[in-house]
Amino acid sequence: MKGFNLTEIALKNKSLVYYFIIVTFIMGIFSYEKLGRMEDPDFVIRQMVVSVAWPGASAREVEEQVTDKLEKKLQDIPGLDYLESKSYPGKAVIYVTLVEDFPKESIKSSWFNARNLVNDIKVDLPEGVVGPFFNDSFDDVFGSIYALTGDGYSYEEMRVEAERIRRTLLNLNNVKKVELIGEQPEKIYVEVETSKLAQLGISPDLIASVLKNQNAMNPAGMVETQTDDVYMRVTGQFDSVEAIQNLAIRANGKTFRLGDIATVERKYVEPAEPKMYFNGHPAIGIALSMSEGGNILKLGDDLSKTVDQISKDLPLGLELNQVSNQPKVVKNSIGEFVRTLLEAIAIVLLVSFLSLGVRTGLVVAGCIPLVIAGVFLAMYMLNISLHKVSLGALIIALGLLVDDAIIAVEMMAVKLEQGYERFEAACYAYTVTAVPMLTGTLITCAGFIPVGFSKGMSAEFTSSLFPVISIALIISWIVSVMVAPLFGYYLIRVKVHQEDKDPYQSKFYKFFRNLLTWCLRHRVLVIGCTIICFIGSIGLLKLVKQEFFPPSTRPEIIVSLTLPEGASMKATDMTANRFAAMLDGLDGIENYSYYAGEGSPRFVLTMTPELPATNFAQFIVVAKDNEAREKLIAKFQQSFSEEFSNVIGNIRLIQTGPPAEYPVMFRVSGYEHEKVREIADEVSNIMVTNDKVKEVKFNWKEKSKVMHLDLDQDKLRNLGIDAKTFSLSLQTQLSGAAIAEYYEGDKTVDIVFRMSSDARGDLSKIKDMPIYIGNRYVPLEQIAKVSYSAEDGKIARRDLKPAITLGANIIDGVTGNDVANEILQKIKGLQDNLPPGYTIESAGALESSDKSIEFMMVPIPAMIIVIITLLMFQLKRMSLMFITLMTAPLGIIGVATSMLITNQSMGFVAELGVLALSGMIIRNSVILIDQIEKHIADGEDPWHAIIDSAILRFRPIMLTAAAAILGMIPLMRSNFWGPMAVAIAGGLFCATVLTLLVLPTMYAAWFKVKEENE
């Protein structure tokens, strides 16, 4: 670049440069205002849910006849990673998951293929199967959830008002979907006493037939006249419950009013549908999701205004409460990160002012906002939103983006001290430092290549690190060679040193010279000690805690209650209400909501919603602060062990990365159900021997109660009835059968016919239940033998094989991955002796962590090649390139030490930081090696060239390192970024010291440089 000097161009075209500075500032401010806001970055959940029903079948029958057939067909989906299914009595749910690196743009077409494949096999499914149904919007995030409550109001009254609110909210900009939660459908139950029917000689089928025919919607014809088509409308359809009660039943020559022989009642469905509660009160939930690319803060403002107006118009007694307020969370999160960014800026500026002086520091200070404005502009153009990762990337970049400016102005100041003219000093700084700085900048960017180009969910979550940091560093290089010299031209004021006065003869520089000289003279010892320290640090890394992603600091506590398989919705509701009563007496709770019969909607992307199950309830408890959160967790754990011992309780926090149900998870799979159970028990026994594990839980294992009716087939045939008719009769008597529909406005209400019987809630009375056969009623025990047994209430599979997942919580102070790895070592013997086709695998966070590391390793060769190529362009010699590369691992010494001292965990984000650290270290090495080569080229002997270069580059290298290290301090408080900040700061500190001492020693050893006499 000898003939192309950007600094010279900038100084000769000051007005043009100022113009672009002003334009960049204005556009940066505009872009900042327009940038999307989120708490966490978006990542695609490549999962679809297929559900199917087969009423009357057992879980094993559903598995064999329905689930298995669907799974075999779904295996043909392109890009399939794995299939997971849960088969229950009468229904099944299949989770179809694509590989993590499956292209986003092809996901919809893959789901379309899944639909086609399943539809092709429908004809092979047993008669009576309902569905399958598909949910390919499983990743919808309902960030704003409201609860409509009202003392004295019925579910239907609340539903009507909630529906009105839903339609109002749908009209807002950026609203994608609004769903109601906890609705309780109404039914009209026609209950007939069997004793009355027997006395009157009326068949239940007759009543059902009359009801169905009376309310059937049938065309009555149309008359075409010369001018009009006139449709015939026949009256007689039910318009009220009273109309049903007054329905005439004709039997045995007599006419009866239905209300005289049956109870007709409009009430909520039995058993109840999943319910929602807010602060212990029944509620109808209103869950809202945002359109893709929408501004959540703008949506939050619109929602706030609209909800305020809606609340004013609500009938007296109804209240609309905020359950989840994602806009507020995002606003607070971004506000916290902006404060962290300002703290980092202040620290970097302080370093600049203290080390360079006020005037020279002002030059660096003026460059920072310009670079940040340019980054915001680039983020807007690349559609990168403001969130935890992009703002964290900006803070990381902040400590690096001032490096080039510091190097440039420091060199300019040195030359001014030596008597250079301002223009000449600025241009000289470019000539000497621009190319090494650019190479160093590109190498630092290359260190983030694994983040930017690896695949998988975790990499997708952190993908904005690479573009934001790279953009910031490249812009900072442009600013340092064009804007910093321009600012320095006017601001830097230094005293010209006397020719006989060397600025590098101070006491400190003399000490450093002597120390470096000693290292060069004892190069074998220095390099040997460095190698020993490096090997030792590798060993120390094994002592560092392992954690995939840390839990969030959000105040929500997710508490799941799982009752034994087969538990009724009524039992689950009662248990949840008992837990809620316990919560009402606790301090530190802002509010709580809970869901009986299903899980909470996905209100944050990193949680997985639980599908409806009658034995499941979930609480979302919002603590007032983190201290209160920890106390509440301790109380919940105590309650589960003392008051809710029959419930499988699980307490967890929102994750900052891909979700896992338990910290420690293992999966056992094989061909035979009982063998899988047996192996799972062995794994459980090994897990409980670890004193860091609290309690081991199975995702399925226990069986549920079943009543068997062994029919007397001969008697049934003699009575003229078959098994199907008998089953339908029993179904009608116990659960009821929908025989007609009642229409009311936009609602369709089923009319359910059933026998009035005390046996519905009492198993002991089932045998005496009268069954209508032919023209008379007989007790059930006369035609069937009643017995009790147990069967699978749930069967989980993975990739067509029964699979049991074991999960466990852990004690405080340890991490899930560490404990899982300890257990993995203990079960290795069991793994080695498993029968063919049976496996024991890690699951949850450890499995995701291993996958993420595999994905992250793929781009590392490309990163190495890019770095080597850049080094060759800069240094032009293989030997110099190799020496420079040898400094990259030196940061591990500082990483291991700092992580252990601060008790931080080595997780996915910290691993990314370690990889990126190598680029930062090599950057400094390039600058020093380049300086040594320049001194030798100018005729200086190698011995003194090494020493003089290290002394000359000591100040800028230490300043840039100090800016980067101290700039990490605000991030160290972050739960998410803390491990990476500690790793980078500790590694860079150690590596910088070693770069100034060990790198010159390595250079001298490699080239066999001998000491020259003074």
Q: What is the C-alpha separation between 168 and 828, in angstroms, rounded?
A: 59
> Distance between CA atoms of 526 and 538, rounded to whole angstroms?
19
What tokens were used for 447? 């260190």
| pLDDT tens digits for range 207-250 | 878 888 777 777 777 887 888 878 887 776 787 888 888 888 87
Q: Would residue 785 be called left, alpha or beta, if left means φ above 0 and alpha means ψ between -120 and 50 degrees?
A: beta
- Give pLDDT < 50 ranges for the chain: 1, 1014
Asked if 636 contacts 652 with a C-beta cutoff of 8 angstroms, the reply is no
Residues 6+ apart with CB under 8 A from 56: 90, 128, 727
Query: 528 is written with which tokens?
Result: 């040997």
In angstroms, the CA 899 to CA 906 distance is 8
The token pair that represents 555 in the structure block: 């105040």
Inter-residue contact 852 to 456 (CB < 8 Å)? yes
pLDDT at 668: 92
The answer to whether 990 and 894 are in contact (CB under 8 A) is yes
Check residue 240 and give its pLDDT. Answer: 81
At 657-682, the pLDDT tens digits run 777 888 899 999 999 988 999 999 99
Contact between residue 532 and residue 830 where contact means Cβ atoms under 8 Å apart = no
Phi, psi of 2 (to 5 degrees): -60, -40
Question: Looking at residue 122, what is its pLDDT?
Answer: 86
Give 794-861 as a DSSP string: -EEEETTEEEEEEEEEE-TTS-HHHHHHHHHHHTHHHHHTPPTT-EEEEEHHHHHHHHHHHHHHTTHH
Are 286 and 117 a contacting pair, CB within 8 Å? Answer: no
Q: Which helix (H) or strand (E) holds 115?
A: helix 107-121
- Find out whether 569 and 596 touch, Cβ atoms under 8 Å: yes
| Measured distance CA(128)–CA(53) in Å, rounded | 9
Of 388, 410, 396, the residue nearest 549 (C-alpha)? 388
**CB-based burial label for 758 (10 Å; 0-12, 13-18, 19+):** exposed
208 CB contacts (<8 Å, ≥6 apart)? 732, 737, 739, 753
What does the alpha-carbon distance between residue 67 and residue 77 come to, in Å, rounded to a whole number? 16
The DSSP letter of residue 446 is: H
Three-state helix/strand/coil letters over 366-384: HHHHHHHHHHHHHHHHCCC
* Neighbour count for residue 812 (Cβ, 10 Å): 8
* Token pair 């008051």 in the structure block, residue: 643
